[in-house]
Structure 1
């Protein structure tokens, strides 16, 4: 009889325990410097590369750990993501994006593309970026950035934003609309671009948010960029038809959960050291937070399991529910920790204010109202798309 999946098993390996120690010591300590200047967390990235965590979603044949939702091990990469976020949510998101990029490229890329963009990941911290976001986009899958067919390839024009990892990336998968087709199932196309290509420019100074400042996410401008056929990733419409967006819900949920846990664990240590553990109100608030965290962990693990026990759509809906629930728990704990820890805890010498700002900024990605509407549509028997996030 096949043993049921235990999503928590990955947390108890020696490698994961070493990763947690790295995250809550060196990553957390470096966070203040990255945050101040909106810098790439390059030291953290280098350490994660040496330990193999930047390739977690890749197959073992390509030097990875063989963990993603399409394999028999859907948990390891998500638990690693969660663990990194306990120390530095910004670093965790950089890792999430490069792992999602690598996973998709291995699944649908050509042999040449894998050799050009995945093999270098064995040797150095060769980061990928997944760039769909752009200003005034009509729909998640309907792009303003266009590609026009010409002799020998395509000419691409447009402006993309929130290009995570752009300051040090090796390549980016860019979403464009192919001219001549109206429906996104026919015109949505992934193309691979590299820094330094003619017509590609990047603005790294644009990204100055309130939180997640250790995740530089630049503007990329594409001005008559010529791309050859071998720079197209997959067929037109492959990304929406293969439901890739739905596979990424839990990556965000893992970062939300890990950041909330990191903030909570720091808070516990802070109030204990100040002898405030005997205060009845603080005891009650701490108990409330623990209860909420346990609920968040349970729905996270349930959603991971659904990818092996339920249909794809059911797993996507469970992942959306987990992502939204964990985001709300993050907001609740943020509020309670501020009041329980007191104003001194918000001084720059402590990491609490960075956790708060990172969570406040990052959980907006969940699109809570849209998430609730989609889940409501499914419950009421109406049509819905569980890959959407907004």
Structure 2
């Protein structure tokens, strides 16, 4: 395993670092206050040639994504973006994952129709599987239903966490065939943002963190989706284990957010006058060690995906995600201790990072992640696609 970036990876890391420092970071507080999707940040990434992070080089992308030529390339964009604006990083990661899935399972017609817009015009796609009560029911036990009609499907349901639903060219939505069973009859539909029967429910996004990852509720009321906008066959989400391919995107967000906290501390602590304090040095060292340990687990998991060692990559991605979550907890605690209350005014960079890290890490169940790894090593049945 080569621990050095390729020239292209280093270029991506530097480009996004520059955008983050000079554009994403300065915009972050205003975006958070407004609770708006990060349109300008997406425009900057598009202008830098990075809107196709999950698209192959053959189509003009950078080859990222779990099944791509260079999975780490996309993760570096997410990591460096999160270092300055975690909300934007979540939006980018989602767009990358879903555009990657589109290329992997879409028909030739779908790819020819949608991918050029992503690469050449900055179009975005999102993915919304969640809905109220799904955590208790299970990943695929959805109440959103799809009923076959002439020429397409009629979708009815209520979804939540529709990230970038307002600016996505296509909202990729999950449903279950009416009267069917799961996961065999779980389906995925690409819904144009202006489709009749598709409504973004106003005033349904007001979290304490990740506010600029605008994720409102969505209402589908007799929403017609043509057959040519069905993405993959029934049951494909489960059989292709797409949930497992998203773990590293979350890990990269936590990694980048923690790095942003470290950046703040290195600048702030000398100004506070506590840089020579042994306790401060200890806690900062703990943060640095934890971040570095997380980084190399994330990068190794990416390397396993690149090697097409899929079973190993899925499991090791769980390791990386778990370490990223542990690091997030440590960083939040240690940073608050050594920075002090004055650094936690609501409008500080540190306070924003802590809000975002805590809120975003609620996507994951730390104990279940570790238990999944434990089941594997005990020779028991395990499921790397489950998140909660």
Give the TM-score normalised by structure 1: 0.94
Q: Tell me the residue number matched to 1:109.
A: 106
Q: Secondary structure at the match of 2:325?
A: helix
Q: Tell me the residue number matched to 1:385.
A: 383
Q: Does 2:68 match 1:68?
A: no
Give yes or no for contact 2:68–2:306 (8 Å, CA) kept in 1.
Answer: no
Q: Secondary structure at the match of 1:303?
A: helix
Give yes or no for contact 2:54–2:68 (8 Å, CA) kept in 1.
Answer: no
Q: Secondary structure at the match of 1:13?
A: helix
Give yes or no for contact 2:12–2:76 (8 Å, CA) kept in 1.
Answer: no
In structure 2, what is the Cα distance between the partners aligned to 1:77 and 1:6? 17
Query: 1:313-352 alignment to 2 at 5 Å?
Result: 313-352=311-350
In structure 2, what is the Cα distance between the partners aligned to 1:298 and 1:332? 17
Q: Deviations over 1:113-140 (max 9, x none)?
A: 1233221113333111111001122211
Q: Secondary structure at the match of 1:91?
A: helix
Q: Secondary structure at the match of 1:54?
A: coil
Q: Does 2:319 match 1:293?
A: no
In structure 2, what is the Cα distance between the partners aligned to 1:74 and 1:7? 15
Q: Tell me the residue number matched to 1:236.
A: 234
After superposition, the CA RMSD in angstroms is 1.7
Q: Tell me the residue number matched to 2:159.
A: 160
Query: 1:133-148 alignment to 2 at 5 Å?
Result: 133-137=130-134, 138-148=137-147
Evaluate the alpha carbon distance shift between residue 61 and residue 301 of structure 1 in structure 2; reply closer, same or farther with a 3 A threshold.
Answer: closer
CA positional deviation for 1:338 = 0.8
Task: Decide which moves more: 243-252 or 312-321.
Answer: 312-321
Evaluate the alpha carbon distance shift between residue 120 and residue 204 of structure 1 in structure 2; reply closer, same or farther with a 3 A threshold.
Answer: farther
CA positional deviation for 1:308 = 4.0
Query: 1:78-89 alignment to 2 at 5 Å?
Result: 78-89=75-86
Q: Secondary structure at the match of 1:383?
A: coil
Structure 2: gaps (5+ residues): none
Q: Tell me the residue number matched to 1:122.
A: 119
Task: Decide which moves more: 110-119 or 141-150.
Answer: 110-119
Q: Tell me the residue number matched to 1:359.
A: 357
In structure 1, what is the Cα distance between the partners aligned to 2:386 and 2:20? 31
In structure 2, what is the Cα distance between the partners aligned to 1:6 and 1:141? 38
Q: Tell me the residue number matched to 2:214.
A: 216
Q: Secondary structure at the match of 1:163?
A: coil
CA positional deviation for 1:84 = 0.8
Q: Tell me the residue number matched to 2:31.
A: 34
Q: Tell me the residue number matched to 1:264.
A: 262
CA positional deviation for 1:152 = 2.3
Give yes or no for contact 1:10–1:75 (8 Å, CA) kept in 2.
Answer: no
Task: Decide which moves more: 81-90 or 224-233.
Answer: 224-233
Give yes or no for contact 2:55–2:64 (8 Å, CA) kept in 1.
Answer: yes
In structure 2, what is the Cα distance between the partners aligned to 1:61 and 1:296? 31
CA positional deviation for 1:7 = 6.7
In the comparison of the two structures, how many residue pairs are matched?
386
Q: Deviations over 1:9-64 (max 9, x none)?
A: 46862342121022123211111101112111121111011112221121223221
CA positional deviation for 1:210 = 1.0
CA positional deviation for 1:306 = 2.4
In structure 2, what is the Cα distance between the partners aligned to 1:326 and 1:129? 24
In structure 2, what is the Cα distance between the partners aligned to 1:72 and 1:63? 13
Task: Decide which moves more: 4-13 or 23-32.
Answer: 4-13
Q: Secondary structure at the match of 1:222?
A: strand
Evaluate the alpha carbon distance shift between residue 12 and residue 159 of structure 1 in structure 2; reply closer, same or farther with a 3 A threshold.
Answer: closer
In structure 2, what is the Cα distance between the partners aligned to 1:59 and 1:326? 27
CA positional deviation for 1:259 = 0.6
In structure 1, what is the Cα distance between the partners aligned to 2:4 and 2:189? 34
In structure 1, what is the Cα distance between the partners aligned to 2:13 and 2:380? 42
Structure 1: gaps (5+ residues): none
Q: Tell me the residue number matched to 2:174.
A: 175
